[in-house]
Amino acid sequence: MTAEALTPALASGRKITFAMRAAHFARGNVLFVVGGCLFLLIVLGAIFAPLIAPYDPTAINFLDKLQGPGFRHLMGTNELGQDIFSQVLFGARTSLMVGVVVISLAIGIGVPIGLVAGFFGGWIDTVLMRISDVFLAFPPLLLPIAITAALGTGLFNAMVALSISWFPWYSRIVRGAVMRINSELYMSAARAMGVSAPRIMMRHALPNSMTPIIVQGSMDFGYSILAAASLSFIGIGAQPPTPEWGLMAAMSRTHFIDSWWTVTFPGMAIFVTVLAMNLVGDGVRDILDPKHQSSH
């Protein structure tokens, strides 16, 4: 009788289709799917901005200034009569670029430092990590503000400043991962075979420490957009006429009381993007975390 009870599960032999796999995955990772869809929407908006946008985002039209949201202007216009919907769309391009550049630069600086520190340990580790710690000792945003002030205002400098203040997180993550990997026998095996240190780092240590980097990178993507928008908001990031969400909010802040849409829609864009990336980051962590893998 008990043997019978088992057979349906065993003998059904149903074929697992891609759709079933996808549905199973979506059921287990609802938030990731929601975040991913939102992010996809933003990316599509950014790519097809010239096709979707009803107006030139920089075109000034004083006749239409401070129009409320409606059929002519989906999200209204600002005090220069620029179409906010078009600006938000083009702003997505700026923001996504900021996210990609800041995180890539931070990973590009932080990962090699963490890799070397974690692999060699000892005084090399101490020196490198103390240098990294210096960058973590400042209150958040104060350091980027100071660096941007020194380099000069502008979106590019703001991105560089953000990367410089962000890389130590990646150094720390990679260092921790590499120190853990150091005790794996395949590292000892490679050393015993006389494999050179750079090769061991590149072929063994780096690939096996990528998981936490990917997770952290996708989480930070949203935050870096938020931070860049903050710099633009206080006037040291993107400069007009660049369509940038933080800058848009800053330019219109005097009209917030009487024309709420001028600030609300750029702010919403930032909020949705950061939220989407957080959900994606959480999801990526859950998927890549070996403890979370149900089937093995």
Partner 1 sequence: MTALLSVAHLTKHFPTRHGLVRAVEDVSFDVARGETLAVVGESGCGKTTVALSLLRLLRPDGGQVSFEGVDLEGGGDKAEKAWRQRLSIVFQNPYSSLDPRMRIRSIVGEPLITAYGLRGRELTQRVVRHLGEVGLGAEHLYRFPHEFSGGQRQRIAIARALALEPKLLILDEPTAALDVSVQAQVLNLLQGLQKSMGLSYLFISHNLATVENIADRVLVMYLGRVVEEGPVSKIFTAPCHPYTRGLLDSVPSTDLRRRERFKPVRGEIPSALNPPPGCAFSPRCARAGEECRAAPPPLVPAGADRSHACLHPLSPTG
Partner 2 sequence: MSDVLLDISGLHIEFPSLERTVQAVRGCDLSVFKGEVMGLVGESGSGKSMTALACLGLVPPPGRVTGSVRLDGHEVVGAPESHNRPLRGGVAAMIFQNPGKALNPFFTIGRQLTDAIAGVRRISREAAGKIAVDALSEVRIADPTQAMHKYPHQVSGGQLQRAMIAMALSCEPKLVIADEPTTALDVTIQAQVIVLLRDLARVHGLAVLFITHDLGVVGSLCDRLAVMYAGRVVESGPVDALFASPAHPYTASLLRAVPALGRGRAALTQIPGTVPNMAEPPTGCAFHPRCPQAQPRCAIDDPMGRETTDGRTVACHFPLAATANGGIAAGSPAA
Residues lying near partner 2 in the complex (CB under 8 A) are found at: 2-3, 5-6, 9-10, 16, 20-21, 24, 294-295
**What pairs with residue 83 in β-bridges?**
77
CB 274 within 8 A of CB 222: yes
Could you tell me the smallest distance in angstroms from the CB atom of residue 130 to partner 1?
A: 22
122: contact with partner 1 by CB under 8 A: no
Q: By CB under 8 A, name the one of 184, 202, 234, 253 that touches partner 1.
A: 184
Closer CB to partner 1, residue 62 or residue 186?
Answer: 186
Exposure class string for 171-200: b at 16+ Cβ within 10 A, else e: bbbbbebbbebbeeeebeebeeeeeeeeeb
Closer CB to partner 2, residue 2 or residue 183?
Answer: 2
185: contact with partner 1 by CB under 8 A: yes
Q: CA-CA distance, 221 to 229, in Å (whole number)?
A: 13
CB 218 within 8 A of CB 281: yes
Q: CA-CA distance, 163 to 118, in Å (whole number)?
A: 21
Sign of the dihedral defined by the CA atoms of residues 137, 138, 144, 148, in that order: negative
Find which of partner 1, partner 2, none residue 211 binds, CB within 5 to 8 Å per kind. none
**Helix (H) or strand (E) segment spanning residue 216:** helix 210-233
21: contact with partner 1 by CB under 8 A: no
Find which of partner 1, partner 2, none residue 51 binds, CB within 5 to 8 Å per kind. none
208: contact with partner 1 by CB under 8 A: yes
Could you tell me the smallest distance in angstroms from the CB atom of residue 20 to partner 2?
A: 7
Which residue ranges make up the site for partner 1 (CB under 8 A)? 184-186, 188-196, 199, 203-204, 207-208
